[in-house]
Amino acid sequence: MPTVLVPLAEGFEEIEAFAPVDLLRRAGVEVTTAALADGIHVTGRSGITAHADTPLAAVLERDYDLIFLPGGAGVKHLRADPRVRELVLKQHAAGRWLAAICAAPVVLFDCGLLTARRYTAHFSVAGELPDILADERIVTDDKITTSRGAGTAIDFGLHLAGLLTDPAKSADISKAICF
């Protein structure tokens, strides 16, 4: 069973986190949500408090097939946390999948991973991302997948499910949710 880690920081965008998490779990993927803070409760940008599976500190030594970074105002906390940078760089060095949506591709950019790659992100961070493909909903380049924002979250989740399992399984889920 493929595994995914989703770090959740205060101010994360709920749709961007939970739509892909839901779709990945429907595909049979083991998804672990991890709060950046010491506890397991994290409040998103719309005031919805999530009950994460674990604090990030408890899973730092574990390997995952994919690390997925949701966007929103919480990206500033992802960028500032050296553990997130270390996880992203370790994941990349191991040749495993990374995914980021909305503003979160700036974390990958900060790690030097978007140079000479195709990627997209939310227009709010376009000034920081010199080669953004602003009109693309989802872009996969090697083992890095990026997406634009909340409005692309279902497409993004189905895409990730197809990458980690089987495109046919993703298509079945799409049909089942009437997408």
Closest to 167 measured CA to CA, from 175, 13, 46: 175
Residue 148 has what pLDDT?
Answer: 98
Condensed to tens digits (0 to 9), the pLDDT of residues 118-162 reads 999 999 999 999 999 999 999 999 999 999 999 999 999 999 999
Top-level CATH class of 3-171? alpha beta
Helix (H, G, I), strand (E, B) or coil at 137: coil
pLDDT of residue 11: 98
Confirm whether pTM is higher than 0.95: yes
Task: Report pLDDT digits (tens) over 18-59.
Answer: 999 999 999 999 999 999 999 999 999 999 999 999 999 999
Looking at residue 142, its pLDDT comes to 97
Token representation of residue 39:
């506890």
Do residues 98 and 108 lie in contact, with contact meaning Cβ atoms separated by under 8 Å?
Answer: yes
From the list 137, 141, 169, 133, the residue with the least C-alpha distance to 154 is: 137
Closest C-alpha to 155, from 113, 120, 129: 120
Instruction: Give the model's pLDDT for residue 121.
Output: 98
Residues 102-115: tens digit of each pLDDT: 999 999 999 999 99
Catalytic residue, from 102, 103, 129, 150: name it: 102
**Residues of the chain with pLDDT > 90: what percent?**
99
pLDDT at 59: 97
pLDDT tens, residue by residue, 63-72:
999 999 999 9
Residue 47: how many CB atoms within 10 A of its CB? 7
- Is residue 102 part of the annotated active site? The answer reads yes
- Sign of dihedral through CA atoms 177, 122, 25, 143? positive
